[in-house]
Structure 1
Amino acid sequence: MTDTITRRPQLGDWADLAALAELQDAALPRVLRWAGGSPFYADRFAGDPPDTRAGFERLPLTSKQDLRDNYPFGMRAVPNERVATYHESSGTAGMPTPSFYTDEDWLDLAERYARKWVGISATDTFLVRTPYALMVTGHLAQAAARSMGATVVPGDNRSLAMPYSRVLRVLHDLHVTLTWSMATETLLWAAAARAAGLRPDADFPHLRALFVGGDPLSDAKRARITELWGVPVVEEYGSTETGSLAGQCPHGRLHLWADRAIFEVYDPATGAIGRDGAGQLVVTPLYREAMPLLRYNLEDAVEVSYEPCACGWALPVVRVLGRSAFGHEVAGRTVTQSRLEDLVFGLPAEHEVLFWRARAEPEVLRVQIEVPPQHRAPACARLHDAVVAEFGVPVEVVGVEPGTLVPKEVLTGVHDVVKPRGLFGADEDWDKALLYY
């Protein structure tokens, strides 16, 4: 039997953390019942399903491998006629991680994503520049934007039909007001704008915010993007398996949507599980019926705190470290991407450094930065000294010509995208038969 949900919690429905816990406790028995509908959890419950917080906390964690081992239908808890969409995560290395959602599940997904302090409204034109395909990210932003009445431009970022030159044209000509992409995408747009003779902070007057997620965003990188475009950069955190899990408040902190999910922190070194501290994020969505996940370990490295925030949301704060928390050894020291990126984007803006790469070798860190010739010597010297001061490792910083790491033709080119066909003229290239290019 389906439990009818008449209303999901909204920001402002609870006054403090105690009231937040009461909201979780009220919703938990329902999702535990839902979970019993899947073969995986029915077997795990062994005829004795929990119905309280105490029983829930005795359950073992659900792993990504559990999802893969139970592909395709072992995690599904509703009949196929109730499933609205099916998705798979992008990071499975050839091993499918399935996700099912009902129409009702999508109401929760869209509401969580739409919790932006820079609001989404019917007057907005929203460019979605993340994958559609099997991942949830593009569909999620589109559903949220349409639920608020906004005009959606489905830009995708895995399609040859949407090169950077076309992204730039759409941003400019359609008066796009909001965008959704990885943070690094916005740097590529800025470079494409400059290549086209446009100024990111002046020639896109309708743009009012950049929504970003999916790749590391250091404080210095965020500041550089904000400076380039002259609008707020609003961060989002989530996954295909769960949808949006956290959003940024007006004070720049990421808050976990703990009215819609229960969050725990797992220490893989000790096996301890608590509600805060450093470790791996464990998630139990409370409004997910098609494929309930109980104590699902996302394996993302995080730091969770319940310290009050000036925004007044009464929600835990999360610092997502993810893969950026891990580093490579150089001369006996650990170098992390997050800190290295902070140093790169800590260079003065007038040095015009947007793109970089680094290789951690056993005895030396090799860094390349794209930088114009007139700024090359000071930029390289400054970054060299900053890396030595931060990590204490031997480092070689080399400035390369702009266009070396991100070729200009990538920013300005237009792809010849054709439909498949079988009949060609005598002077045409029939190697393109049947294939999309």
Structure 2
Amino acid sequence: MTAEPPFDLRWNTLDELAEIQRKRLPRVMEWASASPFYRDRLATAGAFPTAADLSGLPLTTKQDLRAGRPFGMLAVDRSRLATYHESSGTAGQATPSYYTREDWDDLVERYARKWVGITAEDTFLVRTPYALMLTGHLAHAAARSRGATVVPADNRSAATPLARTVEVIRELEVSLTWSMATETLLWAAAAETAGLDPRTDFPGLRALFVGGDPLTAARRRRISDIWGVPVVEEFGSTETGSLAGQCPAGNLHLWADRVLFEVVDPATGASSPEGSGHLVVTPLYREAMPLLRYDLEDDVEVSYAGCSCAWPLPTVRVLGRAALDHSVAGTPVTQHDLEEAVFSLPAAYGVVFWRARTGAERLTLEFEVASEHREAARAAVESAVGGRLGVPVDARPVAPRTLVPYEALTRSQDVIKPRSLFAAHEDWDRALLYY
């Protein structure tokens, strides 16, 4: 599958890419030298390093960002800041990030690099957090930059529960959505609970943009089959913005013209442009908060072998957050491997919601499945998961609407404004609260 990238790369070969990186790096070092955190670190390094010897600098860690919060990494006058953000804190205390207006130009351009393009004819549902995180604000800004109508649904608000989100997608004829991949499965369940068919009752929908949680090829195919539209994946972070986007062939490509990437072996510290390890990034267009060799702590596999789409960019497989890995009987167990196994089951079983817990000697995995497929699914799960991971598995089928309750799929809006005066029949324990 060959396709032109939906953006102007301004280069065609890896040598030309290396030249772009070489020319940008001195500017990045200049910006970094204005940051309190990097000032001393660069002073001891001597001359500004080139891309080839950047690996001589220490890694910047999430703990470095936490220790310097809120503005220890700031490299511009605060009057130039456009926004301040914090990460979700999934693997520890939240990390701060901030951007100038010029930084935002780069953020928006990278996010909008979708092979299913965003246009002025689109109605774009944003179903990721606004709050302090970057994700909702970034999608909103990118969609508006392309002229799309934005529907700011959020996903941390009682004003738009799952049932209401499904209504909005249908009533407004939403054409593009942005959410975590898991959200799209919850929408489908809520739609089916309301008597709707995701494939036929949402004719305006033309693609689902997803990011923020691990997504294997097997789960992406299942989501696409359920909704009947492409699922377009995005990979990035609040600290960096978009780092990779999916091509028509289904692979994630790193935006190597905007960010310098390394793969670092967490055990030895050895750095390489490709292979397996932690993804380490140096954004090339980040002024407010330069990051030199920032360790995302995500396990990845990077390759320059090429892709059938013909985009001249390295590909990446994101295997998940290293800090969240577990083991059973000494064998590592990752969500990526579990997800690939679960979503490789026959689609007729309808298994999409599951949870697992590691034990000293056995993995316990619960999954929703209809009663008629219960025993077949149990055997298939134990075979697929046990075979892929090589660990004993206790597969426990549960009835549909056990892991995702019916009430969660049908709950209506429940929003109030803070007040102090109530009628006799009203619940005054909610005084002064939004919830």
Tell me the TM-score range normalised by the shorter chain. over 0.9
In the alignment, the residues of structure 2 paired with residue 426 and residue 393 of structure 1 have an alpha-carbon distance, to the nearest angstrom, of: 59
**Correspondent of 1:253 among 251, 254, 266:** 251
* Residue 96 of structure 2 is aligned to residue 98 of structure 1: yes
User: Does the residue aligned with 1:132 lie in a helix, a strand or coil?
Assistant: coil
- Which stretch of the first structure deviates more once superposed, 229-238 or 33-42? 33-42
Contact 1:201-1:229 within 8 A present in 2 as well: yes
d(CA) in 1 for partners of 2:390, 2:168: 45
Q: CA offset at residue 94 of structure 1?
A: 6.1
Letter in 2 for 1:43: D
User: Relative to structure 1, is the Cα distance of residues 39 and 330 closer, same or farther in structure 2, using a 3 angstrom cutoff?
Assistant: closer
Q: In the alignment, what sits opposite 2:118?
A: 120
Q: 1:70 is matched with which residue?
A: 68
Structure 1 window deviating more from structure 2 (308-317 vs 213-222): it is 308-317
Using a 3 Å threshold, how does the CA distance of structure 1 residues 44 and 324 change in structure 2: closer, same or farther? closer
Matched residue SS, 1:107:
helix
CA shift, 1:177, in A, is: 0.5
The aligned residue for residue 301 of structure 1 is 299
Measured after TM superposition, the shift of residue 323 of structure 1 is 2.6
Question: 1:138, CA displacement in angstroms?
Answer: 0.5
Specify whether residues 358 and 92 from structure 1 end up closer, same or farther in structure 2 by C-alpha distance, changes over 3 A only: closer
Deviation of the 1:229 alpha carbon:
0.3
- CA distance in structure 2 between the aligned counterparts of 1:151 and 1:315, rounded to whole angstroms: 31
Corresponding residue SS for 2:296: strand
**Per-residue Cα deviation, 1:368-407 (whole angstroms, up to 9, x for no partner):** 1111112212211222222333334332222211111000
1:35 aligns with 2:32: yes
Shift of 1:189: 0.5
Q: Per-residue deviation at 1:143?
A: 0.8
Which residue identity is paired with 2:217? D
Q: Hey, what does 1:219 align to over in structure 2?
A: 217
Partner of 2:15: 18
Counterpart residue type for residue 22 of structure 2:
D
Distance 1:324 1:223 in 2: 25
More deviation, 85-94/130-139: 85-94
Cα offset, 1:54, TM superposition: 5.2
Instruction: Note the residue ranges of structure 2 that are not aligned, 5 or more in a row.
Output: 1-5
> In the alignment, which of 372, 378, 381 is matched to residue 379 of structure 2?
381
Tell me, in whole angstroms, the C-alpha distance in 2 between the residues paired with 1:301 and 1:185: 23
Q: CA deviation at 1:332?
A: 4.4
Aligned: 1:336 with 2:334: yes
1:230-269 alpha-carbon deviations (Å, 9 max, x no partner): 0111110000000000001111111110100111111121
Residues 195 and 41 of structure 1: is their aligned pair in 2 closer, same or farther, counting only changes over 3 Å?
A: same
1:84 counterpart = 2:74: no
Deviations for 1:271-323, whole angstroms, at most 9, x for unmatched residues?
A: 11121111111111111111111111111111111112222221111111123
Cα distance in structure 1, aligned partners of 2:92 and 2:339 = 29
> What SS class does the counterpart of residue 313 from structure 2 fall into?
coil
Structure 2 Cα separation of the partners of residues 423 and 225 of structure 1: 47
Q: Residue 231 of structure 1 aligns with which residue?
A: 229
Contact kept, 8 Å, 1:358 with 1:365, in 2: the verdict is: yes
Between the aligned residues of both structures, percent identity stands at 66
For 2:357, give the aligned amino acid.
R
Report the secondary structure of 1:347's partner residue: coil
SS at match of 2:321: helix
Q: Which amino acid aligns with 1:436?
A: Y
Residue range with higher mean Cα deviation, 79-88 or 343-352:
343-352
Output the CA distance in 2 between the equivalents of 1:219 and 1:328.
Answer: 22
User: Which sits farther off after the overlay, 240-249 or 415-424?
Assistant: 415-424
Q: Partner of 1:223: helix, strand, or coil?
A: helix
Does the aligned pair in 2 maintain the 1:36–1:49 contact within 8 Å?
no
Q: Does 1:409 align with 2:396?
A: no
Question: SS at 1:141's partner residue?
Answer: helix
Is the Cα–Cα contact under 8 Å of residues 177 and 208 in structure 2 kept in the other structure? yes
Shift of 1:74: 1.2
Aligned residue identity for 1:127: L
Asked if the contact 1:64–1:97 (Cα under 8 Å) also holds between the matched residues in 2, the reply is yes
Unaligned stretches of 5+ in structure 1? Answer: 1-8
- Structure 1 match to 2:309: 311
Larger mean CA deviation between 103-112 and 380-389 belongs to: 380-389
How big is the shift at 1:341?
Answer: 1.5
Maintained 8 Å contact 2:55/2:271: no
TM norm structure 1: 0.94
Is 1:200 matched up with 2:184? no
Task: Give the match for residue 6 of structure 1.
Answer: none
2:209 maps to a residue whose letter is F
